[in-house]
Amino acid sequence: MRNPAELTSAFRARGLKVTPQRQLLFRLLHGNTAHPSAEALFALAHAEMPGISLRTVYQTLTDLAAMGELDSLSLGGATRFDPNTDPHHHAQCSRCGALHDVYVEQLDCLEVRGLDGFTPNGATIVFSGLCAACTTLTHTPVGAEAEGHARVEQFSTPTPKEQSP
């Protein structure tokens, strides 16, 4: 999403008002890579503005999402919001639930079967596994696979079996 100043203009341009509550939320969201839930964001906001209402946080998040300044992610549990609106995907730690942005390339090399008639318009990829912190906590420390690229090996897709007898 854009920075607080730009959002201020964008809101006014839409006839929406810019309140202290919204400015605070703009600031808390901008550059936030934690993919907070409404409750989590409320906790942050409440620390700085004790009077703010959870309802207001929900409202503002909804507004921002409607303006395309925020992506919302429904991954089970509370909806999480992502100020990063560049085309990207996510990796979620199955142990601690943390979400990380990942950038997937060569998407057009995928072969998709079974769409018959379905007109795709976008795709969302969510990797699940263990985040760096949980990996070291759970197993013996890992060292390889440092920076740069990584490939997804498993999960090739075999021919579908018949399902109804």
Partner DNA sequence: GACCAATCTGCACGAATTGCAGATTCGCAG
Partner DNA sequence: CTGCGAATCTGCAATTCGTGCAGATTGGTC
Residues forming contacts to DNA in the complex (CB under 7 A) are 11-12, 15-22, 37-39, 49, 51-56, 58-60, 62-63, 74, 77-79
Nearer to DNA, 48 or 137 (CB): 48
Interface stretch with a copy of itself, choices 10-18, 42-50, 62-70, 83-91 (CB under 8 A): 83-91
- Angstrom distance (rounded) from CA 48 to CA 65: 23
Residue 30 interacting with a copy of itself (CB under 8 A): yes
- Angstrom distance (rounded) from CA 93 to CA 91: 7
Nearer to a copy of itself, 17 or 113 (CB): 113
Residue 83 interacting with a copy of itself (CB under 8 A): yes
The site partner of 70 among DNA, a copy of itself, none (C-beta below 5 to 8 Å per kind) is none
Residue 84 interacting with a copy of itself (CB under 8 A): yes
- Other Cβ atoms within 10 Å of 4 Cβ, number: 17
Token pair belonging to 145:
């696979």
The site partner of 39 among DNA, a copy of itself, none (C-beta below 5 to 8 Å per kind) is DNA
Residue 137 interacting with a copy of itself (CB under 8 A): no
CB of 23 to a copy of itself, least distance (A): 15
In contact, 42 and 57? CB cutoff 8 Å:
yes
Which of residues 13, 15, 119, 140 is near a copy of itself by CB under 8 A?
119
Q: Give the Å distances, CA to CA, from 27 to 35, 40, 59, 73, 79.
A: 14, 14, 16, 20, 20
Nearer to DNA, 128 or 157 (CB): 128
- Angstrom distance (rounded) from CA 31 to CA 85: 11
**100: phi then psi, degrees, rounded to nearest 5:** -130, 145
Residue 57's nearest CA partner among 31, 21, 7 is: 21
